[in-house]
Structure formats: C-alpha cells, structure tokens
C-alpha cells in the first residue's frame, strides 16, 4: 500500500512558510474552491469524508459544524492549538512547518459555518509556532487571503493568534473559551454547548489543529480519497502519530489511521536498543495503558475504545521492560493533579489523593489495600467530574490497577521498587 | 409544561427548571453545596448527581441535577446504588482535606458537611495515612469588617464568589490558584465591605466564612429561632430572630421572594445590638419612682383626660410602633380629642436589598412609618408636626406630650432633643429603653421591643407583614397593645383585653384596601396594599 503523505507534505520545505511557496504545492486552491461552494456543501463534504476530531474525543468534525445554528449572531471558530498533554507533539509540527495549511483549513471552516473570526488558541510554550503562525497570518493578510475580502470574494475573515499561559485545562474546549474571554481558565458547565453558546456568548466551533489541516485536502482530493485511507467507514484519513519513549526513532509520523501498533513500532525503528515492549499508551497521558500483548491492535478510534483505551491525540508512549509502571502512572497522576483547575470536587480532591497514594507505593511505603483504594478513588472521580479532565486522570491509574496489579503488590510487599535500575543509566555509569 | 418523573412521582414544572428544584417539588431532597437558587449554576460540588433516563434510555453517566434542565418524559432516580455511591464518594472527597474541627467551629449544627455526612456519607475515613492539605496562616483572614475566612474549612463551592459578582455586584471575592491548592480570597487591595457582605456567611454551606459579629457567641444548636421582621429600616426584610432564653444572638434573613429574597444588609443584622447594649426600662415609673402598672396608667388617664389651660395635648408617634399600637394611639388621640399627632422618623442612608423584582429599598431608620400613618397617626393640617417637636419649640406649647416610643431614634439619646421635648408641662414616654428621654419623663412606661410582641409593619413597598413575639418580655414590661388597651378601657370598657390580632382585624375592617384581611390570615409573604389607596395615605 503506497501511502502518500499529505498533512506533512511540506515538512522540510522551508518555502512553505511563505504564501508563494505554499501555493506552489497546490496551496489555497481548496479555499478558492470553497469560496465558490455553498457553505452547506462544504460541511457535507467534510461529513462525507468521515473526518473525526483529531484532538482526542474523535467527534465527527462535519457533524460539529452542522450544529452551528443559522442565526443572526456573530459566529466564531476557535482552533485548539493548546497541545499540552504529555507525549503529544503533532500539532506543533503542523504549525511550525506548514502554517498556511492551518490558515486555509480555518478559513474553509469559517466559510462553512458562517464565521468571520478565527482565534487560534496556542499553547503558551509554543513561542516558535506562534511566531511562525503570526508571520504567516500577516503575510496572508497582505496577500489578500485574509481580511475584508478573502481572495477577492468580498467575504470578510479575521484571524488572531491567542497565546495561552500554560494551563492544560485550557485545552478543554470550554476552559479555552473562558481563557480566551480573559477569565480564569476553567471549564463551563454543559449544556449549553459551545455550538450554541460559545465564545462571547455566540455560536462557536472548536476544532483541533490537525482536524482543520485535513480540511483543505478533503476539498482538493475529495471525500472518497479520504475515505480510502483508514480502517473502515468510521475511522478514515491520514493520522499523525507522535511516538515517544523507548523506540529507536521517536517523532511524529504521518500514517494511515488504523495501522497496528506493531507496524507503527516498525516504522519507528523498533524498540530502543532491542528492548522488550512492556506496555504502551496509545493516545496521550489520559489514555489507559495497554500491555505488550495488545500490540496487535489497530490504532484507530473504535478498536482502541473497544480495548478499553482510546486513540486520543494519538500520542504513543512506548515503554520497555525497564519501566516501573507504578512510577510511570505516578508521574502521570502528578501531571493531572497539578493541572486540575480545582473547581469540581472529585477532580480537585481525587487527582491529588491518587497522586499521594501512587507516590507512596512507588516510594515503598504502600499499604496492603492501596491497590483497592486507588481503584475505588478512581471510580469516584470517573464519570462524576465536571469536565473530561477527571476522566482523563483516571485512565492511567485504573489501567495500572487492572493490568499491573502484581507490580503494585510487589512494591507494597517488598517496600521497594522491583524494576531493575535502568539499563542505559547502568551502562553509562 | 414538561412532565418529569422523580423517584416514581410525576410532576409538571416550568420549562428550564433544573432537577434539584423539580425534585424539591415532589419532596425529594437532592443534596447540593454549590447550587443556590439565586446564583448562577456552576455544577462544581458534584453532590447532586442523579440518574437520568430519557426516552427509555439511561444516560451512561450520572448527571448533575443542578445543571440538567427538565425535559418532557424524563425519568429521574435519586435512590439508586450508583447515586448513593457517587454521593458517598463526593462526601469522602470533601472531607479528606477538611479539618473536622466541628467542636470549635461556629457552623457546627447548621453545617452542610455535617448534615450530608449523616445522610449520605460514611462513618470512617480511608484518608488515614496522608497529611491533610492546610493553608497555613489562612485560618482567620478578615475579608472585611464583618466576615472571617478559614480557608482550611472551605470546600471551594464558590457561592461567595458568585454572590459578590451576581447579587452584590461588587466582585470583591475571587477564586485563586489551581487544583487542590485552589482557594478563596479577596482581590489584592480590596475588602469585603459591601452593605450585604455578611450574606456570604449565609450562603457558605460550611464554616469557612463566619460572621465576626456572631463568632463564638453561641452554639447554633442552642438557639431558638423565631420568624420576624427586621426593624432596622423600612425595607422590611424577613428575618429569623435567633435567641437563647431571650438574649438575641443574631438575625438571619428569612426567604421572602417578594421582599428581601434570601438577603439582608449588615446594618439590619446589627440592629438588635441596641437591645443588648442599651439600658432597659423594666418597670413603670411616675416622677422617678417605680410603681405598678395600675397606678401608672391611672396617672396617665388623669393627665390626658383633663383638658388643661396650659396648652394642648399631643401624641408624638414613631415609625417603631406596630400598626396596631399606632391604631390604638390614634384612638387615644380621638378620645382626648386632640389633632396633634405625628410620626417621627430618622433619615437613613438608602439601601437596596436585591430581589427578583429589582429590589426593595430602605430609606428610613424605622420599619413602620407608613403603617403608623395609615392607622391614624398621620399629621393633620395645622397641627404640630414631628419636626416641630424635635427641632422646634412645639413641646413648650403642650400641656401633655405623649411620646409613644422612647427609642424612635437618635432624639431619645440626644440631650438637646430631650431638653426640647421636656419643655412640655407633662411628658409621658412609652419606651423599651431607659433612655435619657425616658429618664426625663414624668411618667415612663416600659413596653416590649419588636422581638417581644406581636404586630405588623408596612414596609417601603406598602406590604403588610406580620410578626410574632420571639420570646416573652422581661420584668414588668408589657406589649404596647396590652398597655393601650388597659388605658383606653378607662375611657370605655369596650376596649378592655384587646390582643394585637383583634386590633389588626378591627383596623383592617375600617381601612379600605385592607378589607378581608385578618391577622391570622395574612399570607406568610405579607400582603401588598393597593397603589390607589397608597397615594392617599402616603400624602
């Protein structure tokens, strides 16, 4: 199967940072076409392609667009570039190497839903990406691609880059809106959903960077092309996999959605220094951990959901036999406890408590029933929190108890970490 | 209207009602901390989780009752094992970092954490080996003059934050930091000094915010709580008088959506303190000699019955009188046949207590000028006005001056004003306080405070509101109506033995606009008087 890279076709091509260079590779033709299409036809094309949100939840993008009510109110597109989950670094690549692809995707989306303003909410630490995007947007304004008359159509579109201030919770869509409005970044209670009451009280579409980057290609090459890639009807298109951990060549890889983990590992050059796969996280810090025995699974939305994990942002963290799973989960729990916004009870108290328990187990001070306690606490957090952060926080913890219970119990029994000192450190010493 | 079934009981509610309110309609209590009917819904405490079934399909997760609006055909359960499990879980989360210092906490006895622990929590802790999160140095932070914050007890429900933003409109309090370090505080350079500040103590479901005024004054479970009306101004806030054996400890607002809603002002909360701080008149006194009621009233009767050549007989009323007392004073004036009657009221900085209809205003330092004037004490053309008594020399032209409430305001405590009133040949004072005015009087009669008697007030919205005695009056002190009824019986035995209720009924029967009302049948939220008649009486 010959797979042609599309999203990352311009990576490594510095010309693509300019409008002219981007156009040389067929850039902005999709926007030109979109300007001549009925807005609903654009949405329909995206619906037909089966494009699902690449940010984590996997919600069908076309469906999300169609929820925007056709009312006489300003509408907004907010592009979620607050990529801050541990292990996730795919959007950064798209923004740093091909900013015009994102601008074009945003413009097409705005055209489809009738928005005249795009906010690109970018993670505060992504200063380089923000600078590149701002330069690109400035050039696009000068080239008449953005502004009062987009490509001479008379249709107005403004685009702004808004930098976050370092909170993971602002990647949650309503938390992002609050932050964008200048308030404390904490999720809102839903309903109402952002499609109805979003930024500044107006209908708002919120899409991930990668999702929007797919849109120009869908218009250029057609929904059928997009559907031709992937596992099945519901899992289509190219996907960026951000691979980190114990592999030979970590990095971001564009591959058809639904390749198996084994195939992905092969693309990345196999396990680091020939180690043995112990576990992997298929979709970023919030995805439940999978065991080595599950490496045959297809890395798509539905297969992983059925296996009790999730594709999430497709940030794959690979762990070999030198990894202490308790330590790994403890580190992830610490992240979520630190990033909880603190407004709802289960997440504020539960993530903190889980971190404390995991930390003491790892330090060799665990108590005999800590595994059960951990599981029970995670159960009380899951499903009861205000936003998805609570559910995300229990992913690694629950899967740890479910799949690596003996490792926890060994920690507690032996009052120490049973995993050997890391090979590489030992070798270096 | 949507029909919703809650624990097998079906109820029809307004569209947009949330499940907490809908459940309350059928008598099902859904526990909650952050939800408050007048504050925006944030869904933070996660105590109100309920099971929702729609079109025969159960929702995969429990839903927060406060943020879920009803939909037609919704089936809600609050009694399933999953719901109880979630409630237990939330209680555990709320308590793991709570100091559990109930024995020294002012809130103990009216604490949301205590109540729901008994109902929905467990009796043991699984948080045995960890240190509780504390906020060193943040145990008694004064947010303003009247409110103290103990951050260790806070459960981060943000009701206080939303109160200052949405009700008071002053936004002094904010939510700072993140995760398990999230805390409440006033913004730098600000202090919680709005007129409604102490309401944050009421909305706080736990002991994090306490009132400096009430702090350590009494255990709340020792308090007797009696519904009443605040006498601080003419807004007529509905309150609960909380006292122990006749010693008032605090006023709390009592919900009346038509008047003060859930709120009251800090000045109102402090308005009982004069009863504690000022000397009390406990027995009738004639010429500085304590005497019996019979003797004292005989003396009054002798004095007012005889028309004197020295000048007129006048009745100087007060906005502190109940409508019933004012009515009997007006009857007394009629018996004597004097036109000189008036109602004295001190000015008061304007305040607004917010409610759903824009708010109720207080502009006078007494609760019932309107009622007293309606009852017949309104000044008549050509007769002495209250101002002429308090700031002029009207008293010197009176043979007998009856001051009907010896604490109608600053004048009773002001030597110059007392001297002016003393110029009357005979000064008769009805008073609860042993004020300079009562001490200057020829005859001083101890009457009950508004906490000790039944009666009604007419507030600035022209709403008649009833209240009853919270506790009996001390010593020989008697209610104004009883005293006046005794006095009037000396003119005509038909007046004997009247109760405030009987006086109100008689007054209502004679007053257009009050027809059909009786003291017993006044609605608990009060009765609004018609506007047409308002204009006449207001004049």
B309 has pLDDT over 70: no
- pLDDT for residue B347: 86
DSSP A329-350: HHHHHHHHHHH--S-SHHHHHH
pLDDT in tens, A258-273: 999 999 999 999 999 9
Q: Do B182 and A341 touch (CB under 8 A)?
A: yes
| Percentage, residues of chain A above pLDDT 70 | 97
Average pLDDT of chain A is 93
Interior/surface letters B90-107, b for 16+ CB within 10 angstroms, e for the rest: bbbbbbbbbbeebeebbb
- Which of chain A's residues have a Cβ under 8 Å away from the Cβ of B98? none
B538 has pLDDT over 50: no
Task: Return d(Cα A295, Cα A279) in angstroms, integer.
Answer: 9
User: The tokens of A342 are what?
Assistant: 């603190």
Helix segments in B187-312, DSSP class H:
199-203, 266-269, 273-277, 293-305
Place A425 in a pLDDT band, splitting at 50, 70 and 90: low
B515 has pLDDT over 90: no
DSSP A107-135: HHHHHHHT--EEEEEE-TT-HHHHHHHHH
Place A409 in a pLDDT band, splitting at 50, 70 and 90: very high
Task: Return d(Cα A73, Cα A155) in angstroms, integer.
Answer: 16
Task: Return d(Cα A337, Cα A331) in angstroms, integer.
Answer: 10
User: Hey, what domains does chain B have and what are their CATH numbers?
Assistant: 3-79 (3.10.20.740), 98-111+128-276 (3.30.70.20), 279-538 (3.40.50.740)
Q: What backbone torsions phi and psi does residue A324 show, to the nearest 5 degrees?
A: -85, 115
pLDDT in tens, A159-170: 999 999 989 999
- pLDDT for residue B408: 67
Q: What backbone torsions phi and psi does residue B317 show, to the nearest 5 degrees?
A: -85, 180
User: The tokens of A62 are what?
Assistant: 């076309």
| Percentage, residues of chain A above pLDDT 90 | 91
- pLDDT for residue B537: 42
Q: Do B44 and A341 touch (CB under 8 A)?
A: no
A421 has pLDDT over 90: no
User: The tokens of A74 are what?
Assistant: 């300003």
- pLDDT for residue B536: 41
Task: Return d(Cα A145, Cα B26) in angstroms, integer.
Answer: 60
Q: Which of B46, B130, B177 lies at the smallest CB-CB distance from A344?
A: B46
DSSP A199-230: GGGS-EEEEEHHHHHHHHHHHHH-HHHHHHSE
pLDDT in tens, B27-63: 999 999 999 999 999 999 999 999 999 998 999 999 9
- Min Cα distance B155 → chain A (Å) is 8
B197 has pLDDT over 50: yes
Residues B260/B237, Cβ–Cβ less than 8 Å: yes
pLDDT in tens, B448-491: 999 999 999 999 999 999 999 999 999 999 999 999 999 999 99
pLDDT in tens, B354-375: 999 999 999 999 999 999 999 9
Helix (H, G, I), strand (E, B) or coil at B78: coil
Mean predicted confidence (pLDDT) in B134-144: 93
User: The tokens of A150 are what?
Assistant: 């987009």
User: Hey, what domains does chain A have and what are their CATH numbers?
Assistant: 14-228 (3.40.50.11540), 233-320 (3.10.20.600), 325-414 (1.20.1440.230)
Q: Nearest Cα to A110, choosing from A118, A98, A102?
A: A118
- pLDDT for residue B535: 42
User: The tokens of A203 are what?
Assistant: 């209908």
User: The tokens of A19 are what?
Assistant: 């409008």
* CA-based end-to-end distance of chain B: 45
Report the relative pairing of strands A277-281 and A290-291 from DSSP bridges.
antiparallel
- Which of chain A's residues have a Cβ under 8 Å away from the Cβ of B180? 337, 340, 342, 348-349, 351-352
Q: Is B210 exposed, middle or buried (0-12, 13-18, 19+ CB in 10 A)?
A: buried
Q: Which of A340, A356, A376 lies at the smallest CB-CB distance from B178?
A: A340
Q: Which of A195-204, B117-126, B333-342 has the highest mean pLDDT?
A: A195-204
- pLDDT for residue B529: 84
User: The tokens of A332 are what?
Assistant: 């992830």
User: The tokens of B293 are what?
Assistant: 């009621």
- pLDDT for residue B512: 80
B531 has pLDDT over 60: no
Helix (H, G, I), strand (E, B) or coil at A399: helix
DSSP B98-112: S---GGG-TTTTS-H
B539 has pLDDT over 50: no
Select from A175, A179, A335, A384 the residue whose CB has the most chain B CBs within 10 Å, as the one to mutate to test that interface.
A384
pLDDT in tens, A205-246: 999 999 999 999 999 999 999 999 998 889 999 999 999 999
Residue carrying structure tokens 């629950």 = A398
Question: A with B: how many residue pairs have Cβ under 8 Å apart?
Answer: 100
Interior/surface letters A119-157, b for 16+ CB within 10 angstroms, e for the rest: bbbbbbbbeebbebbbebbebbeebebbeeebbeeeeeb
pLDDT in tens, A68-114: 999 999 999 999 999 999 999 999 999 999 999 999 999 999 999 99
* Residue A197 at interface with chain B, using a CB cutoff of 8 Å: no
Contacts of A140 (CB under 8 A, 6+ apart): A19, A100, A103, A146, A159
User: The tokens of A257 are what?
Assistant: 């959605």
- Which of chain B's residues have a Cβ under 8 Å away from the Cβ of A191? 67, 69
**Check: complex ipTM more than 0.85:** yes
B516 has pLDDT over 90: no
Dihedral (CA of A45, A48, A49, A50) sign: positive
Q: Taking the CB of residue B175, how many other CB atoms lie within 10 A of it? A: 20
pLDDT in tens, B142-177: 999 999 999 999 999 999 999 999 999 999 999 999
């Amino acid at each position: 199967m010959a797979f042609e890279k599309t999203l990352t076709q311009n990576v490594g091509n510095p010309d693509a940072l300019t409008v002219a260079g981007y156009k040389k590779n067929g850039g902005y033709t999709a926007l030109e076409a979109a300007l001549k299409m009925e807005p609903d036809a654009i949405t329909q094309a995206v619906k037909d392609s089966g494009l699902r949100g690449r940010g984590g939840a996997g919600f069908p993008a076309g469906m999300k667009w169609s929820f925007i009510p056709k009312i006489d109110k300003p509408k907004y597109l907010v592009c979620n570039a607050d990529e801050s989950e541990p292990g996730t670094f795919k959007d950064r690549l798209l923004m740093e190497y091909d900013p015009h692809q994102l601008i074009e995707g945003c413009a097409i989306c705005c055209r489809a839903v009738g928005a005249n303003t795009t906010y690109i909410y970018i993670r505060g630490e992504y200063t380089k990406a923000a600078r590149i995007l701002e330069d690109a947007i400035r050039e696009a304004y000068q080239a008449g691609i953005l502004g009062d008359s987009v490509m001479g159509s008379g249709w107005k579109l403004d685009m702004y880059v808004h930098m976050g201030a370092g909170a993971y919770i602002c990647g949650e869509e309503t938390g992002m809106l609050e932050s964008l409005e200048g308030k404390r970044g904490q999720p809102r209670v839903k309903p109402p959903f952002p499609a109805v009451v979003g930024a500044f009280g107006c209908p708002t579409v919120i899409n991930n960077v990668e999702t929007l980057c797919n849109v120009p290609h869908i218009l250029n090459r057609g929904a059928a092309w997009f559907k031709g890639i992937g596992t099945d009807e519901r899992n289509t298109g190219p996907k960026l996999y951000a691979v980190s951990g114990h592999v030979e060549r970590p990095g971001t890889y564009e591959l058809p959605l639904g390749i198996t983990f084994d195939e992905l590992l092969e693309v990345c050059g196999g396990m680091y220094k020939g180690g043995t796969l112990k576990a992997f996280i298929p979709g970023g810090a919030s995805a439940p951990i999978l065991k080595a025995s599950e490496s045959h699974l297809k890395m798509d939305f539905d297969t992983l959901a059925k296996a009790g994990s999730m594709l999430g942002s497709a940030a794959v963290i690979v762990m070999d036999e030198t990894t202490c799973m308790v330590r790994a989960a403890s580190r992830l729990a610490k992240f979520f406890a630190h990033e909880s916004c603190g407004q709802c009870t289960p997440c504020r108290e539960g993530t903190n408590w889980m971190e404390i328990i995991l930390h003491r187990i790892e330090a060799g001070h665990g108590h005999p029933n800590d595994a059960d306690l951990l599981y029970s606490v995670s159960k009380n957090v899951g499903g009861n929190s205000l936003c998805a952060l609570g559910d995300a926080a229990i992913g690694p913890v629950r899967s740890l108890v479910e799949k690596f219970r003996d490792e926890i119990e060994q920690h507690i029994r032996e009052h120490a970490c049973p995993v050997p000192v890391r090979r590489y450190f030992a070798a270096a010493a | 209207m949507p029909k919703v079934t809650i624990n097998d009981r079906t109820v029809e509610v307004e569209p947009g009602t949330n499940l907490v309110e809908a459940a309350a309609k059928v008598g099902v209590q859904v526990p909650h901390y952050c939800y408050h009917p007048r504050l925006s819904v944030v869904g933070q405490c996660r105590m109100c989780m309920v099971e929702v079934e729609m079109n025969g399909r159960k929702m995969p997760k429990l839903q927060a009752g406060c943020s879920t609006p009803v939909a037609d055909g919704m089936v809600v359960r609050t009694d399933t094992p999953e719901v109880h499990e979630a409630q237990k879980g939330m209680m555990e989360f709320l308590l793991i970092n709570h100091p559990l210092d109930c024995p020294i906490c002012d809130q103990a006895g009216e604490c949301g954490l205590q109540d729901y622990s008994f109902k929905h929590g467990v009796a043991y802790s699984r948080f045995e080996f960890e240190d509780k999160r504390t906020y060193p140095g943040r145990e008694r932070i004064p947010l303003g003059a009247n409110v103290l914050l103990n951050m260790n007890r806070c459960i981060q429900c943000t009701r206080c934050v939303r109160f200052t933003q949405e009700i008071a409109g002053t936004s002094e309090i904010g939510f700072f930091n993140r995760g398990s370090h999230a805390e409440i505080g006033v913004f730098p350079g600000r202090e919680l000094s709005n007129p409604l500040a102490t309401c944050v103590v009421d909305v706080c479901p736990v002991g994090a915010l306490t009132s400096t005024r009430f702090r350590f004054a009494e255990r709340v479970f020792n308090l007797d709580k009696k519904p009443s009306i605040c006498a601080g101004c003419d807004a007529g806030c509905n309150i609960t008088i909380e006292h122990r054996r006749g010693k008032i400890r605090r006023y709390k607002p009592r919900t009346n959506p038509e008047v003060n809603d859930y709120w009251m002002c800090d000045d109102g909360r402090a308005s009982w303190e004069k009863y504690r701080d000022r000397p009390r008149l406990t027995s009738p006194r004639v010429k500085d000699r304590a005497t019996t009621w019979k003797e004292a009233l005989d003396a009054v009767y002798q004095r007012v019955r005889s028309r004197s050549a020295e000048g007129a007989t006048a009745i100087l009323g007060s906005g502190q009188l109940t409508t019933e007392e004012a009515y009997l004073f007006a009857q007394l004036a009629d018996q004597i046949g004097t036109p000189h009657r008036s109602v004295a009221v001190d000015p008061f900085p304007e305040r607004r207590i917010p409610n759903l209809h824009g708010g109720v205003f207080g502009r006078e330092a007494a609760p019932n000028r309107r009622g007293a004037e309606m009852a017949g004490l309104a000044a008549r053309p050509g007769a002495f006005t209250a101002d002429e008594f308090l700031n002029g020399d009207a008293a010197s032209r009176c043979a007998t001056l009856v001051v009907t409430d010896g604490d109608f305001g600053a004048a009773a405590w002001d030597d110059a004003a007392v001297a002016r009133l003393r110029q009357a040949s005979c000064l008769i004072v009805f008073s609860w306080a042993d004020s300079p005015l009562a001490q200057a009087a020829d005859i001083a009669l101890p009457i009950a405070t508004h906490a000790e008697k039944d009666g009604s007030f007419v507030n600035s919205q022209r709403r008649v509101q009833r209240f009853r005695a919270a506790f009996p009056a001390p010593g020989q002190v008697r209610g104004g109506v009883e005293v006046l009824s005794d006095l009037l019986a000396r003119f005509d035995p038909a007046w004997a033995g009247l109760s405030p209720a009987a006086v109100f009924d008689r007054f209502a029967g004679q007053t257009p606009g009050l027809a059909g009302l009786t003291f017993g049948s006044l609605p608990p939220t009060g009765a609004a008087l018609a506007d047409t008649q308002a204009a006449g009486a207001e004049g």
